[in-house]
Amino acid sequence: MRRGNRVPVTQRQLAASIAMALHIVERDAIAAFLLDAATTLTDHNPLSRTSAGAQRQIWTGRQREFASFGVAALGVACLLNALQRLLNDEPMIQEMLQAGPCRAYVYHHEDGCRIVGAVLHAKANAHLPEIRPLRRTRARRIVRLPTPQLDLFAIR
């Protein structure tokens, strides 16, 4: 389903992009939530096209609400730090995903790859899901065997 004139981003693409976003401390947990079979993109997303300034104002308020009501959340501080570095009118896309009492918000620059930030939170009095860490593939180490050096000055 297309939203406006942009090509929709898949959950898998968002999760991969979040997993690579080194500025998000809780990136593995948020990416794993997005990859969970129960997690779906929400149909109702009133702020799909938004700006850094609008989201900075919204999440500053939510951070206070979450703290005062004891709402479990990941990624809020990292999102606010990222938004602080952007101009107020910087355009971005908001993706909303949900599973049970938990919701994730992902902000990107219209391509789904350049992630501004992401937040995962539970509803009041609910817990964040138990999330297994993502499996990291390690690059295989190339073992090089020593080769004998040619001695140009050897006398035979």
Residue whose entry in the numeric block shows the structure tokens 């009501």: 69
d(C-alpha 13, C-alpha 55), whole Å: 22
Contact 107, 55 (CB under 8 A): yes
What is the pLDDT, as a whole number, of residue 113? 85
Token representation of residue 44: 């109702």
Instruction: Please tell me what DSSP assigns to residue 45.
Output: -
pLDDT, tens digit (0-9, with 9 covering 90-100), for 96-154 = 999 999 999 999 998 878 999 999 999 988 889 877 665 555 555 666 666 666 666 76
Share of the chain above pLDDT 90, in %: 66
Show me where the domains of the chain are located: 11-122
Whole-prediction pTM value?
A: 0.79
What is the pLDDT, as a whole number, of residue 90? 96
pLDDT, tens digit (0-9, with 9 covering 90-100), for 38-69 = 999 998 888 899 999 999 999 999 999 999 99
* Through-space distance between the first and last CA atoms of the chain, rounded to whole angstroms: 78
Contact 120, 33 (CB under 8 A): yes
